């Protein structure tokens, strides 16, 4: 009975989704989408429109989402507070150990690259942060063998990074408020936007990308590691 | 004070009201690292936020204050709008959070940092939800508040808490999906998330989208508010939560949700027109407006459904509350009924009815927070929130009994307590508007509510103690430093022993503040001021869609 209702509800929602998609195709909407495409480089200096929207136009949403990740980490830490990491009692095969060791540096570099080049190419703090979190999870899974030695970044350090990241985000916001007349202001603060497409461009966006990357990376790592240790 | 109105502080107040509570999340962490106790820092921060929330009341402030983080305005970026509605509710939220934090819980002594960080997250979510003029941004704040809520509900860490948190999670997730889906429909139809522009464009949008968005948003908000028929989760969700958390969720959070609902109803959909036969009190503003207005019948049908939901919430809430043997569940069901009162006022549509709904939301928030504190004190001294265990409690602590009587009077609507005025206007206005069902339900609601509050008060003043106090489910081995003698105390005390003052001094202060609030709100002068303020907000809301 309950399953039936749940199924009905899900089917109804999916149906609504399909109807929206089909009906929405024909809708003639002159939304803000066009303004972003035409003006974002001039406004923000970021070649990647997605980054411009995420970290400049709708920076508050991004701050909110980053806070959501922090809150999730906190929830998991409250609900699963035990700090022991002894999930694997079997030794993984050498292939796995060496394979991961070979791959990990490249994955980390990829993560940082995705974050640092977020404003000039596809990617950004969130995407790169997830990649970084995956390296932390690799470490936790592969090199924490038999509970003898933990290669997980200490929880305290992780929390410190996470809180520092959100504090940095807020500091950028308050800085914009004082110098640029609006919370999280970017170009209005007078920071040079630079040559669009170069690494040092788009004002404060790279900084916010880096901060969000740290936050998401550490936040997800906290969630996963907390759930492991249960 | 001349320059205050134009100062950066006032211009950016909406951003600050979101950013300042959020900054205390990392701040508490780093302050604790250098040795500042989390509780003190948190209370100071909440005091600061309370001060900020009163700033819009400074003489000469021009509303609405619009601020846009990033400085791009509503079209390209996100607009936060502090209008009369927000000005009215902001101090309610801040004061509710502050008093709840002051009261605290014994579980907050276990992990103060986590507790207060989560409360600040909840605070950020509530303020943001009230202020934002952007649909997706509103969802982000719904999410933040929701996530923090789960951990707070489960903060006791026992089975009850986890079960409640799980039920809360499920209900909140479904409610969130419904709201998000409504937002998606509006965005698809209008291409914008900025509420004023979306409202304008919805006028030309296909009716299917408008109706779909209206239904999804309304059911999402109703589910979060716990209106019948989506009420079943609410008592379960609050039963396992610490009292201070239950107070937070029934006071400030419901107020913020109501504020958000008003912005959606009046800002996005143009509100309900004043009902036929509207009275002289409302000035008889009539006419069809808003996007659903092309079909007057649809609106009347919707209004009919709103009244059905409201009346059944009132009846079901009170009847279920009457049947409970545990105080927290009882109070949760009573909240459902009070949400029903508020919806009757919104559905009736006139300024006076809306003003009464706003006033009722505020008085309910304060009085319900107060009752949850009484419940928390009883739990502290008796080890359980069973009504039967309250025997003799008010005899030992008469101030607690007095507060309970005051809060009950207000919730039931006995003059001169604050709840009387709003209920009176609600009854009058629904009768004037021809909504007899609503009028009768509100009047009968008081009669239904009286016995269940009276039951506790009478039991509290009975002589003697309950024979076997249920021990607190409290694992003392886990946290030996935490002084929590309630269970042993209840077991050790012989019959008729002198009462122990187990009340935390701060808890007393919190209840005292609420008693003051009750007296101020209950005095006719205070109530008149509040009502006239609410009336001007209601006029603004109704006028904005004309």
Contact call for B72 and A57, based on CB within 8 A: yes
What average pLDDT does range B411-428 have in this prediction? 83
Residue A5 lies in a domain: no
Please tell me which residue, B115 or B6, carries the higher pLDDT value: B115
* pLDDT at residue B297, as a whole number: 60
Residue A10 lies in a domain: no
At residue B481 the predicted structure's pLDDT band, cuts being 50, 70 and 90, is very low
Strand partners of residue B226: none
Please tell me which residue, B465 or A67, carries the higher pLDDT value: A67
Residue A17 lies in a domain: no
* pLDDT at residue B277, as a whole number: 37
Strand partners of residue B80: B67, B132
HEC letters along B139-199: HHHHHHHHHHHHHHHCCCCCHHHHHHHHHHHHHHHHHHHHHHHHHHHHHHHHCCCEHHHHH
Return the H-helix or E-strand segment holding B80.
Answer: strand B80-82
Residue B168 lies in a domain: no
Cα–Cα dist B413/B449, whole Å: 9
Burial per residue of B62-94, b for 16 or more beta-carbon CB atoms within 10 angstroms, e otherwise: eeebebbbbbbebbbbbbbbbbbbbbbbbbbbb
Strand partners of residue A179: none
- Among B8, B14, B18, B26, pick the best mutation site for testing chain A contact (most A Cβ within 10 A): B26
Q: Are B415 and B364 in contact (CB under 8 A)?
A: no
Contact call for A182 and B23, based on CB within 8 A: no
Please report how many Cα atoms fall inside a 13 Å half-sphere around the Cα of residue B495, on the Cβ side.
Answer: 7
Place of tokens 């993984």: A92
What average pLDDT does range B268-276 have in this prediction? 64
Whether the pLDDT of residue B401 is over 80: the answer is yes
Cα–Cα dist B127/A38, whole Å: 33
Please report how many Cα atoms fall inside a 13 Å half-sphere around the Cα of residue A143, on the Cβ side.
Answer: 15
Please, which residues have CB within 8 angstroms of residue B372's CB and are 6 or more apart in sequence?
B243, B244, B246, B247, B250, B251, B328, B331
Cα–Cα dist B251/A106, whole Å: 51
Task: Compute mean pLDDT per 10 residues along chain A, 230 residues long, and list them.
Answer: 81 78 63 66 77 83 88 80 52 76 87 84 83 82 58 72 87 83 77 73 81 84 70
Residue A15 lies in a domain: no
Cα–Cα dist B227/B351, whole Å: 23
Contact call for B141 and A60, based on CB within 8 A: no
- Give B307-346 as a DSSP string: HHHHHHHHHHHHHHHHT-SBHHHHHHHHHHHHHHHHHHHH
Q: Are A77 and B114 in contact (CB under 8 A)?
A: yes
ipTM, interface predicted TM-score of the complex: 0.84
- Among A31, A43, A77, A168, pick the best mutation site for testing chain B contact (most B Cβ within 10 A): A31
Whether the pLDDT of residue B354 is over 80: the answer is yes
Q: Are B363 and B415 in contact (CB under 8 A)?
A: no
* pLDDT at residue B280, as a whole number: 29
Question: In Å, what is the CA distance from B330 to each residue of B302, B376, B449, B470?
Answer: 30, 14, 10, 19
From chain B, pick out residues whose CB is under 8 angstroms from the CB of A63: 22
Give ∠ CA B46-B49-B55 in degrees, rounded to 5.
Answer: 150
| Residue of chain A minimizing CA distance to B165 | A79
Contact call for B25 and A59, based on CB within 8 A: no
- When CB atoms are compared, the residue of A71, A163, A173 closest to B121 is A71
Please tell me which residue, B57 or B493, carries the higher pLDDT value: B57
Q: Nearest 5°: phi and psi at A152?
A: -80, 140
What average pLDDT does range B162-190 have in this prediction? 88
Residue A182 lies in a domain: yes
Q: What phi-psi label fits residue A181: left (phi over 0), alpha (psi between -120 and 50 degrees) or beta?
A: left
Q: Are B145 and B126 in contact (CB under 8 A)?
A: yes
* pLDDT at residue B376, as a whole number: 84
Domain count for chain B: 1
Cα–Cα dist B221/B455, whole Å: 32
* Distance between first and last Cα of chain B: 35
Task: Point out the least confidently predicted range of B9-13, B189-193, B505-509.
Answer: B505-509
* pLDDT at residue B504, as a whole number: 58
The residue among B283, B497, B492 whose CA lies nearest residue B395 is B497
Please, which residues have CB within 8 angstroms of residue A48's CB and are 6 or more apart in sequence?
A118, A119, A120, A121, A122, A123, A124
Cα–Cα dist A68/A58, whole Å: 16
Q: In chain B, what percentage of residues exceed pLDDT 90?
A: 13
* pLDDT at residue A30, as a whole number: 56
Q: In chain B, what percentage of residues exceed pLDDT 70?
A: 84
Cα–Cα dist B336/B317, whole Å: 5
Place of tokens 């980054």: A51
Whether the pLDDT of residue B501 is over 60: the answer is no
Whether the pLDDT of residue B295 is over 50: the answer is no
- Among B7, B24, B70, B133, pick the best mutation site for testing chain A contact (most A Cβ within 10 A): B70
Place of tokens 């107060």: B370
In eight-state DSSP terms, residue A53 is I
Q: Are A118 and A209 in contact (CB under 8 A)?
A: yes
Question: What sign does the dihedral B389-B395-B396-B399 (CA atoms) show?
Answer: positive
Question: Among A1-5, B406-410, B527-531, which range has the highest average pLDDT?
Answer: B406-410
* Distance between first and last Cα of chain A: 33
Whether the pLDDT of residue B284 is over 50: the answer is no
* pLDDT at residue B289, as a whole number: 39
Task: Point out the least confidently predicted range of B132-146, B222-236, B266-280, B431-445.
Answer: B266-280
Whether the pLDDT of residue B475 is over 70: the answer is no
Domain count for chain A: 1
Segment B2-56, tens digit of pLDDT = 456 567 788 888 888 999 999 999 998 888 888 888 888 888 899 999 999 988 8
- Among A27, A36, A58, A66, pick the best mutation site for testing chain B contact (most B Cβ within 10 A): A58
* pLDDT at residue A94, as a whole number: 77
Q: Are B327 and B385 in contact (CB under 8 A)?
A: yes
Q: How far is B3 from chain A (nearest CA, A)?
A: 17
* pLDDT at residue A24, as a whole number: 65
What average pLDDT does range B441-462 have in this prediction? 87
From chain B, pick out residues whose CB is under 8 angstroms from the CB of A24: 188-189
Tell me the residue range of the domain where B509 lies.
311-465+503-546
Residue A116 lies in a domain: yes
From chain A, pick out residues whose CB is under 8 angstroms from the CB of B184: 20
The predicted model scores a pTM of 0.85
Whether the pLDDT of residue B240 is over 90: the answer is no
Tell me the residue range of the domain where A103 lies.
31-229
Cα–Cα dist B175/B139, whole Å: 11
Peptide bond into B309 cis (omega under 30): no
From chain B, pick out residues whose CB is under 8 angstroms from the CB of A177: 8, 12, 15-16, 19
The residue among A51, A52, A187, A23 whose CA lies nearest residue A118 is A51
At residue B402 the predicted structure's pLDDT band, cuts being 50, 70 and 90, is confident
- When CB atoms are compared, the residue of B67, B144, B194 closest to A67 is B144
* pLDDT at residue B286, as a whole number: 36
Residue B390 lies in a domain: yes
| Residue of chain B minimizing CA distance to A54 | B77
Place of tokens 């040092």: A200
Cα–Cα dist B518/B17, whole Å: 26
Residue A37 lies in a domain: yes
HEC letters along B96-142: HHHHHHHHCCHHHHCCHHHHHHHHHHHHHHHHHHHHECEHHHHHHHH
Segment B123-146, tens digit of pLDDT = 999 999 999 999 999 999 999 998
Whether the pLDDT of residue B373 is over 70: the answer is yes
- When CB atoms are compared, the residue of A65, A167, A180 closest to B71 is A180
Cα–Cα dist A47/A211, whole Å: 19
Cα–Cα dist B274/B285, whole Å: 6
* pLDDT at residue B127, as a whole number: 93
Segment B308-323, tens digit of pLDDT = 888 899 999 999 998 8
At residue B296 the predicted structure's pLDDT band, cuts being 50, 70 and 90, is low
Strand partners of residue B265: none
Residue B366 lies in a domain: yes
Lookup: tokens for A13? 């929602």
Whether the pLDDT of residue B1 is over 50: the answer is no
Task: Point out the least confidently predicted range of A43-57, B76-90, B229-243, B273-287.
Answer: B273-287
Residue B149 lies in a domain: no
Residue B445 lies in a domain: yes
Residue A167 lies in a domain: yes
The residue among B399, B408, B383 whose CA lies nearest residue B492 is B383
Q: Are B335 and B224 in contact (CB under 8 A)?
A: no
């Amino acid at each position: 009975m309950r399953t039936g209702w749940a199924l009905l509800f899900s089917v109804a929602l999916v149906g609504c989704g399909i109807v929206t998609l089909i009906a929405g195709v024909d809708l003639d909407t002159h939304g803000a989408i066009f303004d972003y495409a035409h003006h974002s480089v001039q406004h923000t200096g970021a070649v990647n429109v997605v980054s411009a929207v995420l970290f400049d136009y709708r920076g508050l949403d991004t701050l909110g989402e980053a806070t959501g990740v922090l809150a999730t980490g906190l929830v998991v830490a409250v609900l699963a507070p035990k700090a022991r990491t002894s999930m694997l009692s079997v030794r993984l095969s050498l292939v796995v150990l060496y394979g991961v060791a070979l791959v990990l540096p490249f994955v980390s570099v990829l993560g940082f690259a995705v974050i640092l080049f977020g404003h000039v190419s596809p990617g950004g703090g969130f995407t790169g942060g997830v990649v970084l979190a995956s390296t932390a999870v690799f470490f936790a899974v592969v090199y924490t063998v038999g509970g003898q030695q933990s290669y997980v970044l200490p929880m305290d350090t992780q929390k410190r990074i996470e809180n520092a990241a959100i504090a940095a985000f807020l500091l950028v916001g308050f800085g914009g408020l004082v110098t640029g007349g609006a919370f999280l202001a970017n170009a209005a603060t007078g920071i040079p936007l630079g040559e669009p497409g170069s690494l040092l461009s788009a004002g404060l966006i790279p900084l916010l990308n880096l901060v969000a990357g740290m936050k998401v990376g550490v936040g997800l790592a906290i969630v996963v590691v907390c759930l492991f240790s249960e | 004070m001349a320059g205050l109105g134009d100062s950066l502080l006032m211009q950016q107040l909406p951003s600050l009201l979101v950013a300042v509570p959020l900054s205390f999340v990392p701040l508490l962490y780093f302050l604790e690292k250098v040795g500042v106790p989390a509780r003190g820092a948190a209370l100071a921060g909440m005091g600061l936020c309370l001060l900020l929330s009163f700033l819009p009341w400074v003489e000469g402030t021009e509303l609405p204050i619009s601020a846009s983080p990033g400085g791009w305005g509503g079209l390209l970026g996100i607009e936060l709008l502090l209008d009369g509605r927000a000005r009215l509710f902001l101090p309610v939220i801040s004061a509710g959070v502050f008093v709840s934090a002051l009261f605290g819980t014994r579980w907050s002594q276990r992990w103060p940092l986590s507790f207060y960080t989560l409360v600040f997250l909840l605070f950020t979510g509530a303020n943001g939800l009230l202020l934002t003029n952007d649909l997706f941004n509103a969802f982000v704040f719904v999410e933040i508040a929701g996530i923090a809520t789960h951990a707070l509900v489960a903060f006791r860490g026992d089975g009850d808490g986890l079960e409640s948190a799980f039920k809360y999670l499920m209900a909140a997730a479904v409610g969130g999906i419904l709201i998000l889906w409504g937002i998606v429909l509006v965005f698809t139809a209008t291409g914008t998330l900025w509420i004023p522009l979306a409202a304008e464009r919805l006028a030309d949008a296909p009716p299917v989208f408008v109706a779909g968005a209206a239904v999804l948003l309304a059911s999402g908000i109703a589910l979060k508010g716990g209106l019948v028929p989506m009420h079943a989760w609410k008592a379960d969700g609050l039963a396992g939560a610490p009292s201070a958390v239950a107070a937070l969720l029934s006071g400030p959070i419901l107020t913020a949700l109501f504020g958000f609902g008003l912005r959606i109803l009046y800002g996005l959909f143009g509100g309900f027109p004043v009902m036929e036969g509207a009275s002289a009190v409302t000035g008889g503003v009539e006419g069809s407006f808003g996007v659903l207005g092309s079909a007057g019948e649809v609106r009347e049908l919707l209004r009919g459904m709103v009244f059905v939901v409201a009346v059944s919430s009132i009846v079901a809430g009170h009847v279920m509350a009457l049947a409970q043997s545990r105080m927290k569940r009882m109070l949760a069901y009573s909240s459902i009924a009070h949400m029903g009162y508020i919806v009757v006022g919104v559905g009736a549509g006139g300024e006076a009815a809306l003003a009464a709904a706003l006033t009722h939301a505020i008085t309910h928030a304060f009085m319900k927070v107060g009752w949850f504190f009484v419940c928390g004190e009883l739990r502290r001294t008796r080890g359980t929130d069973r009504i039967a265990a309250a025997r003799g409690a008010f005899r030992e602590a008469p101030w607690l009994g007095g507060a309970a009587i005051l809060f009950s009077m207000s919730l039931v609507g006995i003059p001169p307590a604050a709840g009387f005025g709003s209920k009176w206007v609600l009854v009058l206005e629904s009768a004037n508007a021809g909504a007899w069902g609503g009028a009768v339900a509100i009047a009968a609601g008081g009669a239904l509510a009286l016995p269940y509050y009276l039951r506790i008060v009478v039991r509290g003043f009975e002589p003697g103690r309950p024979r076997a106090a249920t021990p607190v489910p409290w694992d003392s081995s886990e946290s030996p430093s935490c002084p929590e003698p309630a269970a042993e105390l209840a077991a050790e005390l012989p019959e008729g022993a002198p009462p122990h003052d187990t009340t935390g001094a701060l808890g007393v202060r919190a209840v005292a503040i609420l008693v003051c609030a009750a007296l101020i709100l209950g005095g006719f002068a205070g109530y008149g001021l509040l009502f006239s303020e609410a009336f001007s907000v209601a006029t603004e809301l109704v006028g904005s869609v004309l």
